[in-house]
Structure 1
Amino acid sequence: MVAHTPPVALTIAGSDSGGGAGIQADLRTFSFHRVHGTSALTCVTAQNTQGVTRVDALEPAAVVAQIEAVVNDIGIQSLKTGMLLNQPIIEAVADALTQVANTRCVIDPVMVSRTGAQLIDDGAIETLRQRLIPLATVLTPNRYEAEILSGQSIHTLDDMETAAQAIHGLGAQAVVVKGGGFEGPLRGIDLWYDGTNVTKLVTTCVETNDTHGTGCTLSAAIAANLALGQSPLDATRRAKDYVTHALHHSLRIGQGQGPVGHFYPILE
Protein backbone atom coordinates (compact mmCIF):
# COMPACT_ATOMS: atom_id res chain seq x y z
CA MET A 1 0.00 0.00 0.00
CA VAL A 2 1.21 3.50 -0.87
CA ALA A 3 -0.09 6.36 1.25
CA HIS A 4 -0.63 9.72 -0.45
CA THR A 5 -0.88 13.20 0.99
CA PRO A 6 -2.63 15.27 -1.67
CA PRO A 7 -3.33 18.99 -1.56
CA VAL A 8 -6.60 19.83 0.15
CA ALA A 9 -9.23 22.37 -0.91
CA LEU A 10 -12.38 23.45 0.91
CA THR A 11 -15.66 24.51 -0.67
CA ILE A 12 -18.13 26.59 1.34
CA ALA A 13 -21.35 26.50 -0.64
CA GLY A 14 -24.84 25.08 -1.02
CA SER A 15 -25.98 21.61 -2.00
CA ASP A 16 -27.54 21.08 -5.45
CA SER A 17 -29.73 17.97 -5.33
CA GLY A 18 -29.53 17.74 -9.12
CA GLY A 19 -25.75 17.40 -8.91
CA GLY A 20 -24.89 20.05 -11.49
CA ALA A 21 -23.67 22.95 -9.37
CA GLY A 22 -22.81 23.84 -5.78
CA ILE A 23 -20.98 21.46 -3.48
CA GLN A 24 -21.46 18.52 -5.85
CA ALA A 25 -19.84 20.30 -8.78
CA ASP A 26 -17.03 21.61 -6.60
CA LEU A 27 -16.09 18.21 -5.19
CA ARG A 28 -16.09 16.60 -8.63
CA THR A 29 -13.88 19.41 -9.91
CA PHE A 30 -11.45 18.97 -7.03
CA SER A 31 -11.28 15.22 -7.70
CA PHE A 32 -10.59 15.77 -11.40
CA HIS A 33 -7.54 17.83 -10.38
CA ARG A 34 -6.39 15.17 -7.88
CA VAL A 35 -7.05 17.51 -4.98
CA HIS A 36 -8.79 16.18 -1.87
CA GLY A 37 -12.10 18.01 -1.51
CA THR A 38 -13.63 19.03 1.81
CA SER A 39 -16.85 20.95 2.31
CA ALA A 40 -18.94 23.21 4.51
CA LEU A 41 -22.61 23.31 3.54
CA THR A 42 -24.40 26.64 3.81
CA CYS A 43 -27.81 25.56 2.53
CA VAL A 44 -29.66 22.62 1.04
CA THR A 45 -31.60 23.16 -2.16
CA ALA A 46 -34.23 21.05 -3.85
CA GLN A 47 -33.41 21.56 -7.51
CA ASN A 48 -33.03 19.83 -10.82
CA THR A 49 -32.31 20.83 -14.42
CA GLN A 50 -35.52 22.86 -14.51
CA GLY A 51 -35.05 25.02 -11.45
CA VAL A 52 -35.05 25.38 -7.67
CA THR A 53 -38.16 24.50 -5.70
CA ARG A 54 -36.91 24.90 -2.11
CA VAL A 55 -33.94 26.32 -0.19
CA ASP A 56 -33.18 25.62 3.48
CA ALA A 57 -30.38 27.58 5.14
CA LEU A 58 -28.13 26.09 7.80
CA GLU A 59 -27.50 27.98 11.00
CA PRO A 60 -24.36 30.16 10.75
CA ALA A 61 -22.82 28.32 13.72
CA ALA A 62 -23.25 25.02 11.87
CA VAL A 63 -21.43 26.43 8.84
CA VAL A 64 -18.55 27.67 10.99
CA ALA A 65 -18.35 24.33 12.82
CA GLN A 66 -17.82 22.54 9.50
CA ILE A 67 -15.06 24.96 8.50
CA GLU A 68 -13.31 24.60 11.84
CA ALA A 69 -13.59 20.80 11.81
CA VAL A 70 -11.79 20.64 8.46
CA VAL A 71 -9.18 23.32 9.12
CA ASN A 72 -8.24 22.20 12.63
CA ASP A 73 -7.63 18.57 11.67
CA ILE A 74 -6.93 18.19 7.96
CA GLY A 75 -5.71 21.64 6.98
CA ILE A 76 -6.30 23.26 3.61
CA GLN A 77 -4.19 24.82 0.87
CA SER A 78 -7.05 26.74 -0.74
CA LEU A 79 -10.76 27.36 -0.46
CA LYS A 80 -13.65 28.70 -2.46
CA THR A 81 -16.99 30.17 -1.49
CA GLY A 82 -20.16 29.82 -3.50
CA MET A 83 -23.77 30.39 -2.47
CA LEU A 84 -23.72 31.82 1.06
CA LEU A 85 -27.41 32.75 0.87
CA ASN A 86 -27.88 35.36 3.59
CA GLN A 87 -26.23 38.08 5.65
CA PRO A 88 -25.70 36.09 8.90
CA ILE A 89 -23.97 33.26 7.01
CA ILE A 90 -21.76 35.70 5.09
CA GLU A 91 -20.75 37.42 8.33
CA ALA A 92 -20.00 34.09 10.03
CA VAL A 93 -17.95 32.82 7.08
CA ALA A 94 -15.98 36.08 6.90
CA ASP A 95 -15.19 35.81 10.62
CA ALA A 96 -14.08 32.20 10.19
CA LEU A 97 -11.87 32.95 7.19
CA THR A 98 -9.98 35.68 9.03
CA GLN A 99 -8.74 32.86 11.28
CA VAL A 100 -7.45 30.76 8.36
CA ALA A 101 -3.94 32.08 7.80
CA ASN A 102 -2.02 31.82 4.52
CA THR A 103 -4.87 30.21 2.62
CA ARG A 104 -5.65 31.25 -0.94
CA CYS A 105 -9.32 32.17 -1.23
CA VAL A 106 -11.44 32.12 -4.37
CA ILE A 107 -14.60 34.11 -3.78
CA ASP A 108 -17.43 33.45 -6.21
CA PRO A 109 -19.79 36.30 -5.23
CA VAL A 110 -23.01 34.44 -5.94
CA MET A 111 -25.46 37.34 -5.97
CA VAL A 112 -27.07 37.33 -9.41
CA SER A 113 -27.64 34.49 -11.87
CA ARG A 114 -26.13 34.68 -15.33
CA THR A 115 -29.62 35.57 -16.57
CA GLY A 116 -29.79 38.62 -14.29
CA ALA A 117 -31.98 37.34 -11.42
CA GLN A 118 -30.86 38.62 -7.99
CA LEU A 119 -30.29 35.69 -5.62
CA ILE A 120 -29.57 37.40 -2.27
CA ASP A 121 -30.92 40.58 -0.69
CA ASP A 122 -29.25 43.99 -0.67
CA GLY A 123 -28.04 43.68 2.92
CA ALA A 124 -26.28 40.41 2.14
CA ILE A 125 -24.69 41.98 -0.95
CA GLU A 126 -23.33 44.87 1.11
CA THR A 127 -21.91 42.49 3.74
CA LEU A 128 -20.27 40.43 1.01
CA ARG A 129 -18.78 43.61 -0.44
CA GLN A 130 -17.37 44.83 2.87
CA ARG A 131 -16.41 41.61 4.65
CA LEU A 132 -15.68 38.88 2.11
CA ILE A 133 -14.32 40.51 -1.03
CA PRO A 134 -11.23 41.93 0.75
CA LEU A 135 -10.25 38.32 1.60
CA ALA A 136 -10.23 37.19 -2.04
CA THR A 137 -7.10 35.99 -3.77
CA VAL A 138 -9.29 35.72 -6.88
CA LEU A 139 -12.81 37.12 -7.21
CA THR A 140 -15.01 35.72 -10.00
CA PRO A 141 -18.11 37.89 -10.64
CA ASN A 142 -20.31 37.35 -13.66
CA ARG A 143 -21.40 40.32 -15.75
CA TYR A 144 -24.37 41.25 -13.55
CA GLU A 145 -22.48 40.81 -10.30
CA ALA A 146 -19.68 42.95 -11.69
CA GLU A 147 -22.22 45.65 -12.56
CA ILE A 148 -23.51 45.69 -8.98
CA LEU A 149 -20.05 45.70 -7.42
CA SER A 150 -18.66 48.37 -9.74
CA GLY A 151 -21.79 50.48 -9.98
CA GLN A 152 -21.68 50.66 -13.77
CA SER A 153 -23.18 49.01 -16.81
CA ILE A 154 -21.05 46.57 -18.77
CA HIS A 155 -21.52 46.28 -22.54
CA THR A 156 -17.99 46.30 -23.99
CA LEU A 157 -14.53 44.95 -23.26
CA ASP A 158 -13.50 48.41 -22.07
CA ASP A 159 -16.46 48.36 -19.68
CA MET A 160 -15.26 45.01 -18.33
CA GLU A 161 -11.81 46.47 -17.70
CA THR A 162 -13.15 49.58 -15.97
CA ALA A 163 -15.44 47.44 -13.81
CA ALA A 164 -12.61 45.06 -12.90
CA GLN A 165 -10.45 47.99 -11.81
CA ALA A 166 -13.26 49.42 -9.66
CA ILE A 167 -13.95 46.03 -8.06
CA HIS A 168 -10.24 45.52 -7.42
CA GLY A 169 -10.42 48.69 -5.35
CA LEU A 170 -12.74 46.84 -2.93
CA GLY A 171 -9.75 44.80 -1.76
CA ALA A 172 -9.58 41.64 -3.87
CA GLN A 173 -6.06 40.71 -5.02
CA ALA A 174 -7.33 39.82 -8.49
CA VAL A 175 -10.68 40.06 -10.29
CA VAL A 176 -11.97 37.94 -13.17
CA VAL A 177 -15.04 39.49 -14.81
CA LYS A 178 -16.74 36.59 -16.58
CA GLY A 179 -18.29 37.03 -20.00
CA GLY A 180 -20.37 33.87 -20.23
CA GLY A 181 -23.59 35.86 -19.97
CA PHE A 182 -22.86 38.04 -23.01
CA GLU A 183 -24.20 37.56 -26.50
CA GLY A 184 -22.09 38.22 -29.59
CA PRO A 185 -18.31 38.62 -29.75
CA LEU A 186 -17.82 39.04 -25.97
CA ARG A 187 -19.49 35.74 -25.15
CA GLY A 188 -17.13 33.53 -23.19
CA ILE A 189 -14.38 36.14 -22.90
CA ASP A 190 -13.21 36.73 -19.32
CA LEU A 191 -11.11 39.69 -18.21
CA TRP A 192 -8.39 39.42 -15.54
CA TYR A 193 -7.13 42.36 -13.52
CA ASP A 194 -4.71 42.16 -10.59
CA GLY A 195 -3.89 45.82 -10.01
CA THR A 196 -1.13 45.80 -12.62
CA ASN A 197 -1.95 43.43 -15.45
CA VAL A 198 -5.04 43.32 -17.63
CA THR A 199 -5.35 39.99 -19.41
CA LYS A 200 -8.07 38.82 -21.79
CA LEU A 201 -8.80 35.13 -21.29
CA VAL A 202 -10.17 33.46 -24.41
CA THR A 203 -10.88 29.85 -25.31
CA THR A 204 -13.18 28.12 -27.78
CA CYS A 205 -16.80 29.23 -27.48
CA VAL A 206 -18.92 26.09 -27.02
CA GLU A 207 -22.46 26.06 -28.42
CA THR A 208 -24.58 24.16 -25.88
CA ASN A 209 -27.64 24.81 -23.76
CA ASP A 210 -26.30 22.51 -21.04
CA THR A 211 -24.22 24.97 -19.02
CA HIS A 212 -25.53 24.47 -15.49
CA GLY A 213 -22.76 24.84 -12.91
CA THR A 214 -20.17 26.63 -15.04
CA GLY A 215 -19.61 29.41 -12.48
CA CYS A 216 -19.20 26.99 -9.58
CA THR A 217 -16.95 24.80 -11.67
CA LEU A 218 -14.67 27.65 -12.72
CA SER A 219 -14.15 28.92 -9.17
CA ALA A 220 -13.59 25.38 -7.88
CA ALA A 221 -11.05 24.70 -10.62
CA ILE A 222 -9.19 27.90 -9.76
CA ALA A 223 -9.12 26.82 -6.10
CA ALA A 224 -7.87 23.36 -7.08
CA ASN A 225 -5.06 24.78 -9.18
CA LEU A 226 -4.11 27.19 -6.39
CA ALA A 227 -3.91 24.21 -4.02
CA LEU A 228 -1.58 22.57 -6.53
CA GLY A 229 0.75 25.57 -6.31
CA GLN A 230 -0.13 27.46 -9.48
CA SER A 231 0.02 31.24 -9.56
CA PRO A 232 -3.41 32.93 -9.48
CA LEU A 233 -3.29 33.84 -13.18
CA ASP A 234 -2.07 30.39 -14.28
CA ALA A 235 -4.66 28.77 -12.01
CA THR A 236 -7.36 30.83 -13.70
CA ARG A 237 -6.12 30.01 -17.22
CA ARG A 238 -6.09 26.29 -16.44
CA ALA A 239 -9.51 26.51 -14.82
CA LYS A 240 -10.98 28.18 -17.91
CA ASP A 241 -9.50 25.44 -20.11
CA TYR A 242 -11.05 22.80 -17.84
CA VAL A 243 -14.49 24.41 -18.01
CA THR A 244 -14.24 24.64 -21.81
CA HIS A 245 -13.49 20.90 -22.07
CA ALA A 246 -16.33 20.14 -19.64
CA LEU A 247 -18.71 22.23 -21.78
CA HIS A 248 -17.64 20.28 -24.87
CA HIS A 249 -18.83 17.18 -22.98
CA SER A 250 -21.90 18.65 -21.27
CA LEU A 251 -24.53 16.19 -20.08
CA ARG A 252 -27.93 15.89 -21.77
CA ILE A 253 -29.82 14.80 -18.66
CA GLY A 254 -33.16 15.94 -17.28
CA GLN A 255 -35.75 18.00 -19.09
CA GLY A 256 -34.09 21.40 -18.61
CA GLN A 257 -30.55 22.78 -18.60
CA GLY A 258 -28.06 19.97 -18.05
CA PRO A 259 -24.70 20.32 -16.32
CA VAL A 260 -21.19 20.39 -17.70
CA GLY A 261 -19.29 17.10 -17.91
CA HIS A 262 -16.91 17.35 -14.96
CA PHE A 263 -15.61 13.83 -15.54
CA TYR A 264 -15.24 14.17 -19.32
CA PRO A 265 -12.13 11.96 -19.73
CA ILE A 266 -14.06 8.84 -18.74
CA LEU A 267 -17.01 9.84 -20.93
CA GLU A 268 -14.76 9.20 -23.90
Structure 2
Amino acid sequence: MNILSIQSSVAYGHVGNSAAVFPLQRLGFGVWPVITVHFSNHTGYGQWRGPVLPAADIADVIAGIEERGVLPSCDAVLSGYMGDVSLGEVITDAVSKVKAVNPQAVYCCDPVMGDVGRGFFVRPGLPEFIRDRAVPLADIITPNQFELEFLTGRTIATLADALSAAKAALALGPRLVVVTSLMREDAPADTIEMLAVQEDGAWLLETPLLPLSVSGAGDATSALFLAHYLRDRSPASALEKTANSIFAVLERTAAEGAREIQLIPAQEEIAHPPSRFRARAVERQDASASAVG
Protein backbone atom coordinates (compact mmCIF):
# COMPACT_ATOMS: atom_id res chain seq x y z
CA MET A 1 0.00 0.00 0.00
CA ASN A 2 1.12 3.57 -0.72
CA ILE A 3 0.54 6.69 1.35
CA LEU A 4 1.05 10.28 0.20
CA SER A 5 2.08 12.17 3.35
CA ILE A 6 2.13 15.96 3.13
CA GLN A 7 3.73 17.37 6.27
CA SER A 8 6.65 19.27 7.75
CA SER A 9 10.12 17.80 8.15
CA VAL A 10 13.01 18.30 10.57
CA ALA A 11 16.63 17.22 10.33
CA TYR A 12 16.94 16.60 14.07
CA GLY A 13 14.12 14.94 15.97
CA HIS A 14 10.71 13.64 15.07
CA VAL A 15 7.74 15.78 14.07
CA GLY A 16 5.60 15.86 10.95
CA ASN A 17 6.91 13.55 8.26
CA SER A 18 9.96 12.96 10.42
CA ALA A 19 7.60 11.28 12.91
CA ALA A 20 5.29 9.63 10.38
CA VAL A 21 7.41 8.20 7.57
CA PHE A 22 9.60 5.78 9.52
CA PRO A 23 6.74 4.12 11.45
CA LEU A 24 4.77 3.73 8.21
CA GLN A 25 7.75 2.21 6.44
CA ARG A 26 8.49 -0.04 9.42
CA LEU A 27 4.96 -1.39 9.02
CA GLY A 28 5.63 -2.12 5.37
CA PHE A 29 3.91 0.81 3.68
CA GLY A 30 5.29 2.72 0.74
CA VAL A 31 5.42 6.41 1.64
CA TRP A 32 5.61 9.37 -0.71
CA PRO A 33 6.69 12.20 1.63
CA VAL A 34 6.03 15.75 0.47
CA ILE A 35 7.61 18.22 2.88
CA THR A 36 6.12 21.62 3.59
CA VAL A 37 8.99 22.99 5.69
CA HIS A 38 12.48 21.69 6.33
CA PHE A 39 13.72 22.91 9.68
CA SER A 40 16.80 22.02 11.67
CA ASN A 41 14.57 21.00 14.61
CA HIS A 42 11.02 21.51 15.81
CA THR A 43 9.99 24.97 16.95
CA GLY A 44 9.50 23.92 20.58
CA TYR A 45 13.21 24.51 21.12
CA GLY A 46 12.65 28.23 20.60
CA GLN A 47 15.32 28.45 17.91
CA TRP A 48 15.45 26.76 14.54
CA ARG A 49 16.72 27.28 11.02
CA GLY A 50 15.54 26.26 7.59
CA PRO A 51 13.06 27.11 4.86
CA VAL A 52 9.30 27.20 4.65
CA LEU A 53 8.49 25.96 1.17
CA PRO A 54 6.10 28.14 -0.86
CA ALA A 55 2.75 26.55 -1.59
CA ALA A 56 3.48 26.74 -5.32
CA ASP A 57 6.64 24.66 -4.87
CA ILE A 58 4.77 22.03 -2.86
CA ALA A 59 2.07 21.90 -5.54
CA ASP A 60 4.84 21.45 -8.12
CA VAL A 61 6.23 18.44 -6.28
CA ILE A 62 2.77 16.87 -6.12
CA ALA A 63 2.28 17.61 -9.83
CA GLY A 64 5.52 15.76 -10.53
CA ILE A 65 4.23 12.72 -8.66
CA GLU A 66 0.99 12.94 -10.64
CA GLU A 67 3.00 13.03 -13.89
CA ARG A 68 4.53 9.66 -13.01
CA GLY A 69 1.03 8.23 -13.41
CA VAL A 70 1.05 6.67 -9.94
CA LEU A 71 -1.87 8.41 -8.24
CA PRO A 72 -4.23 5.49 -8.99
CA SER A 73 -1.98 3.36 -6.76
CA CYS A 74 -2.16 5.84 -3.88
CA ASP A 75 -4.18 4.17 -1.11
CA ALA A 76 -4.27 7.11 1.30
CA VAL A 77 -3.36 10.74 1.84
CA LEU A 78 -2.14 11.90 5.24
CA SER A 79 -1.89 15.55 6.25
CA GLY A 80 -0.91 17.29 9.47
CA TYR A 81 0.12 20.86 10.27
CA MET A 82 -0.86 23.02 7.31
CA GLY A 83 0.85 26.33 8.06
CA ASP A 84 -1.56 28.56 6.20
CA VAL A 85 -4.64 28.49 4.00
CA SER A 86 -2.66 28.49 0.74
CA LEU A 87 -0.97 25.23 1.74
CA GLY A 88 -4.32 23.87 2.90
CA GLU A 89 -5.67 24.46 -0.58
CA VAL A 90 -2.74 22.55 -2.11
CA ILE A 91 -3.45 19.64 0.22
CA THR A 92 -7.19 19.50 -0.44
CA ASP A 93 -6.51 19.77 -4.18
CA ALA A 94 -4.13 16.81 -3.93
CA VAL A 95 -6.75 14.80 -2.06
CA SER A 96 -9.34 15.57 -4.75
CA LYS A 97 -6.92 14.45 -7.48
CA VAL A 98 -6.15 11.17 -5.71
CA LYS A 99 -9.81 10.41 -5.07
CA ALA A 100 -10.68 11.22 -8.68
CA VAL A 101 -8.46 8.39 -9.93
CA ASN A 102 -8.88 6.08 -6.90
CA PRO A 103 -12.27 6.56 -5.22
CA GLN A 104 -11.32 3.97 -2.58
CA ALA A 105 -8.39 6.09 -1.34
CA VAL A 106 -8.64 7.26 2.27
CA TYR A 107 -7.87 10.80 3.42
CA CYS A 108 -6.70 11.04 7.02
CA CYS A 109 -6.63 14.64 8.23
CA ASP A 110 -4.90 15.50 11.49
CA PRO A 111 -6.52 18.92 12.09
CA VAL A 112 -3.54 20.49 13.84
CA MET A 113 -4.65 23.84 15.26
CA GLY A 114 -3.92 24.05 18.97
CA ASP A 115 -4.09 22.32 22.30
CA VAL A 116 -5.56 22.60 25.77
CA GLY A 117 -3.63 25.21 27.74
CA ARG A 118 -1.95 26.66 24.65
CA GLY A 119 -4.96 27.64 22.59
CA PHE A 120 -4.54 28.14 18.86
CA PHE A 121 -1.01 28.22 17.45
CA VAL A 122 -1.83 28.49 13.74
CA ARG A 123 -2.37 31.51 11.53
CA PRO A 124 -5.74 33.29 11.47
CA GLY A 125 -8.20 31.75 9.06
CA LEU A 126 -6.65 28.29 9.11
CA PRO A 127 -8.92 26.80 11.80
CA GLU A 128 -11.96 27.81 9.78
CA PHE A 129 -10.40 26.40 6.59
CA ILE A 130 -9.72 23.09 8.31
CA ARG A 131 -13.27 22.93 9.68
CA ASP A 132 -15.03 24.02 6.50
CA ARG A 133 -12.82 22.56 3.74
CA ALA A 134 -10.43 19.86 4.93
CA VAL A 135 -12.56 18.01 7.48
CA PRO A 136 -15.57 17.56 5.13
CA LEU A 137 -13.20 16.01 2.57
CA ALA A 138 -11.64 13.62 5.09
CA ASP A 139 -12.54 10.00 5.75
CA ILE A 140 -10.71 9.98 9.09
CA ILE A 141 -9.89 12.91 11.37
CA THR A 142 -7.58 12.68 14.38
CA PRO A 143 -8.18 15.77 16.54
CA ASN A 144 -7.05 16.24 20.09
CA GLN A 145 -9.65 17.34 22.61
CA PHE A 146 -9.12 21.06 22.01
CA GLU A 147 -9.43 20.63 18.25
CA LEU A 148 -12.58 18.54 18.54
CA GLU A 149 -14.14 21.23 20.72
CA PHE A 150 -13.41 23.87 18.08
CA LEU A 151 -14.62 21.77 15.17
CA THR A 152 -17.95 21.12 16.85
CA GLY A 153 -18.43 24.21 19.01
CA ARG A 154 -18.83 22.01 22.09
CA THR A 155 -17.13 21.83 25.48
CA ILE A 156 -15.91 18.41 26.58
CA ALA A 157 -15.81 17.55 30.28
CA THR A 158 -17.21 14.02 30.36
CA LEU A 159 -17.29 10.91 28.22
CA ALA A 160 -20.85 11.75 27.24
CA ASP A 161 -19.61 15.15 26.05
CA ALA A 162 -16.82 13.54 24.04
CA LEU A 163 -19.16 11.06 22.38
CA SER A 164 -21.64 13.81 21.54
CA ALA A 165 -18.88 16.00 20.07
CA ALA A 166 -17.50 13.12 18.03
CA LYS A 167 -20.99 12.44 16.65
CA ALA A 168 -21.25 16.13 15.71
CA ALA A 169 -17.87 15.88 13.97
CA LEU A 170 -19.12 12.90 11.95
CA ALA A 171 -21.92 15.12 10.69
CA LEU A 172 -19.26 17.39 9.13
CA GLY A 173 -18.30 14.63 6.68
CA PRO A 174 -15.74 12.12 8.03
CA ARG A 175 -16.77 8.54 8.63
CA LEU A 176 -14.38 8.03 11.54
CA VAL A 177 -13.27 10.37 14.34
CA VAL A 178 -10.27 9.48 16.50
CA VAL A 179 -9.71 11.69 19.55
CA THR A 180 -6.01 11.25 20.21
CA SER A 181 -5.76 12.69 23.71
CA LEU A 182 -8.87 12.82 25.87
CA MET A 183 -8.68 14.00 29.47
CA ARG A 184 -12.16 14.13 30.96
CA GLU A 185 -13.39 14.88 34.46
CA ASP A 186 -15.06 11.48 34.87
CA ALA A 187 -12.01 9.40 33.89
CA PRO A 188 -9.75 7.54 36.34
CA ALA A 189 -7.02 9.71 37.82
CA ASP A 190 -3.62 9.91 36.10
CA THR A 191 -4.86 8.45 32.84
CA ILE A 192 -5.18 9.68 29.28
CA GLU A 193 -7.51 8.18 26.70
CA MET A 194 -8.04 7.70 23.00
CA LEU A 195 -11.54 7.49 21.57
CA ALA A 196 -12.60 6.20 18.15
CA VAL A 197 -16.14 6.87 16.94
CA GLN A 198 -17.91 5.94 13.75
CA GLU A 199 -21.60 5.83 12.92
CA ASP A 200 -22.21 2.33 14.28
CA GLY A 201 -19.92 2.23 17.31
CA ALA A 202 -17.43 3.82 19.65
CA TRP A 203 -14.34 2.47 21.37
CA LEU A 204 -12.36 3.86 24.29
CA LEU A 205 -8.83 3.01 25.44
CA GLU A 206 -6.99 4.39 28.46
CA THR A 207 -3.30 4.36 29.33
CA PRO A 208 -1.35 5.79 32.26
CA LEU A 209 -0.46 9.46 31.94
CA LEU A 210 3.32 9.63 31.65
CA PRO A 211 5.34 12.54 33.08
CA LEU A 212 6.67 14.04 29.87
CA SER A 213 5.92 16.72 27.31
CA VAL A 214 7.19 16.05 23.79
CA SER A 215 6.40 16.98 20.21
CA GLY A 216 5.62 14.56 17.40
CA ALA A 217 3.62 11.96 19.30
CA GLY A 218 0.40 13.15 17.69
CA ASP A 219 1.94 12.99 14.21
CA ALA A 220 3.09 9.42 14.83
CA THR A 221 -0.30 8.51 16.28
CA SER A 222 -2.19 9.68 13.20
CA ALA A 223 0.19 7.80 10.90
CA LEU A 224 -0.02 4.58 12.88
CA PHE A 225 -3.80 4.66 13.15
CA LEU A 226 -4.14 5.23 9.41
CA ALA A 227 -1.77 2.34 8.68
CA HIS A 228 -3.54 -0.14 10.94
CA TYR A 229 -6.97 0.97 9.75
CA LEU A 230 -5.97 0.49 6.11
CA ARG A 231 -4.98 -3.09 6.90
CA ASP A 232 -8.20 -4.38 8.46
CA ARG A 233 -10.71 -1.48 8.53
CA SER A 234 -11.35 -2.14 12.22
CA PRO A 235 -11.39 1.02 14.37
CA ALA A 236 -11.07 -0.99 17.59
CA SER A 237 -8.09 -2.99 16.35
CA ALA A 238 -6.39 0.09 14.91
CA LEU A 239 -6.97 1.94 18.17
CA GLU A 240 -5.41 -0.85 20.23
CA LYS A 241 -2.37 -1.31 18.03
CA THR A 242 -1.76 2.43 17.76
CA ALA A 243 -2.14 3.14 21.46
CA ASN A 244 0.06 0.23 22.49
CA SER A 245 2.84 1.24 20.10
CA ILE A 246 2.69 4.92 21.03
CA PHE A 247 2.67 4.15 24.76
CA ALA A 248 5.76 1.98 24.29
CA VAL A 249 7.49 4.85 22.45
CA LEU A 250 6.53 7.37 25.14
CA GLU A 251 7.41 5.01 27.99
CA ARG A 252 10.90 4.59 26.56
CA THR A 253 11.14 8.34 26.00
CA ALA A 254 10.23 9.03 29.63
CA ALA A 255 12.64 6.39 30.92
CA GLU A 256 15.50 7.94 29.00
CA GLY A 257 14.55 11.50 29.92
CA ALA A 258 14.66 12.35 26.21
CA ARG A 259 13.22 15.46 24.62
CA GLU A 260 12.54 13.70 21.31
CA ILE A 261 10.21 10.71 21.02
CA GLN A 262 12.21 7.49 20.81
CA LEU A 263 10.86 6.08 17.56
CA ILE A 264 13.99 4.23 16.48
CA PRO A 265 14.73 2.49 19.80
CA ALA A 266 11.06 1.47 20.03
CA GLN A 267 10.76 0.28 16.44
CA GLU A 268 10.02 -3.32 17.38
CA GLU A 269 7.01 -2.15 19.38
CA ILE A 270 5.92 -0.20 16.31
CA ALA A 271 6.32 -3.15 13.96
CA HIS A 272 4.81 -5.58 16.46
CA PRO A 273 2.42 -3.70 18.79
CA PRO A 274 2.23 -5.13 22.32
CA SER A 275 -1.14 -6.24 23.71
CA ARG A 276 -0.94 -4.34 26.96
CA PHE A 277 -3.99 -2.09 26.64
CA ARG A 278 -7.38 -3.05 25.24
CA ALA A 279 -10.12 -0.95 23.69
CA ARG A 280 -13.61 -1.31 25.07
CA ALA A 281 -16.82 -0.56 23.26
CA VAL A 282 -18.93 2.20 24.78
CA GLU A 283 -22.55 2.94 24.08
CA ARG A 284 -23.02 6.09 22.05
CA GLN A 285 -26.43 6.68 23.61
CA ASP A 286 -25.28 6.24 27.22
CA ALA A 287 -21.68 7.06 27.96
CA SER A 288 -22.01 5.70 31.47
CA ALA A 289 -22.76 2.20 30.20
CA SER A 290 -20.37 -0.58 31.06
CA ALA A 291 -18.09 -2.16 28.48
CA VAL A 292 -19.91 -4.22 25.91
CA GLY A 293 -16.93 -5.83 24.25
Q: Same fold (TM over 0.5)?
A: yes
The residue number in structure 2 matching 1:147 is: 149
Aligned to 2:20: 26
Question: TM-score with structure 1 length normalisation?
Answer: 0.84
- In structure 1, the residue matched to 2:96 is 98
Aligned with residue 192 of structure 2, among 188, 192, 211:
188
Residues 48 and 129 from structure 1, CA distance in 2 versus in 1: closer, same or farther, beyond 3 angstroms? closer
Q: Is the 1:11–1:37 contact (alpha carbons within 8 Å) kept by the matching residues of 2?
A: yes
Alpha-carbon distance between aligned partners in 2 of 1:30 and 1:108, rounded to the nearest angstrom: 16
Alignment of 1:4-83 (within 5 A): 7-48=1-42, 50-54=44-48, 56-73=51-68, 74=70, 75-83=73-81
Cα distance, 1:84 vs structure 2: 0.8
* Residue segments in structure 2 that go unaligned for 5+ positions in a row: 270-293
What is the one-letter code of the residue matched to 1:82?
G
1:123 alignment counterpart: 125
Q: Distance in 1 between matches of 2:141 and 2:13?
A: 24
1:165 counterpart residue number: 167
Rounded to whole Å, the distance in 1 between the matches of 2:265 and 2:105 is 27
Q: Secondary structure at the match of 2:98?
A: coil
What number of residue pairs does the alignment pair up? 258
CA distance, structure 2, for counterparts of residue 155 and residue 179 of structure 1: 13
CA distance in structure 1 between the aligned counterparts of 2:248 and 2:179, rounded to whole angstroms: 20
TM-align CA RMSD: 2.7
Query: After the TM superposition, which residues 224-243 of structure 1 pair with which residues of structure 2 at under 5 Å, given as runs?
Result: 224-243=227-246
Aligned AA for 1:11?
Answer: S
Structure 1: runs of 5+ lacking an equivalent: 1-6
| 1:205 to 1:214, Cα distance in 2 relative to 1, 3 A | same
Moved over 4 A (4+): 180-184
> Quick one: distance in 2 between partners of 1:65 and 1:227?
28
Q: Which residue of 2 aligns with 1:223?
A: 226
Q: Deviations over 1:90-128 (max 9, x none)?
A: 012112211112311111001014543412134111111
1:135–1:171: 8 Å Cα contact kept in structure 2?
yes
Distance 1:48 1:127 in 2: 24
**Aligned-partner residue type, residue 247 of structure 2:** T
1:60-88 deviation per Cα after TM superposition (whole angstroms, max 9, x unaligned): 22222223333553432122101111011
Asked which structure has the greater CA Rg, the reply is: 2
Aligned to 2:208: 205
Is the CA contact (8 Å cut-off) linking 2:23 and 2:224 kept in structure 1?
yes
Counterpart CA distance in 2 for 1:224 and 1:262 is 18
**Deviation (angstroms), 1:44:** 2.9
Shift of 1:261: 2.9
Structure 2 residue matching 1:99: 3-state secondary structure: helix
Percent identity among equivalent residues? Answer: 23
Q: What is the rounded CA distance, in whole Å, between the counterparts of 1:182 and 1:18 in structure 2?
A: 34
Q: Provide Cα deviations, 1:120-153, integer angstroms capped at 9, x if missing partner.
A: 1341111111111112221010011111111122
225-234 vs 153-162, greater mean Cα deviation: 225-234
Moved more, 179-188 or 141-150: 179-188
SS at match of 2:196: strand
* Whole-Å separation in 1 of the counterparts to 2:264 and 2:107: 22
SS state at 2:13 partner: coil
Tell me if the contact between 1:46 and 1:53 (Cα under 8 Å) persists in the aligned partners.
Answer: no
Q: Alignment partner of 2:253: what SS?
A: coil
**C-alpha deviations, 1:188-240, integer Å up to 9, x for none?**
211221122122133x3252415431100011112222444544553333222
Q: Does 1:136 align with 2:113?
A: no
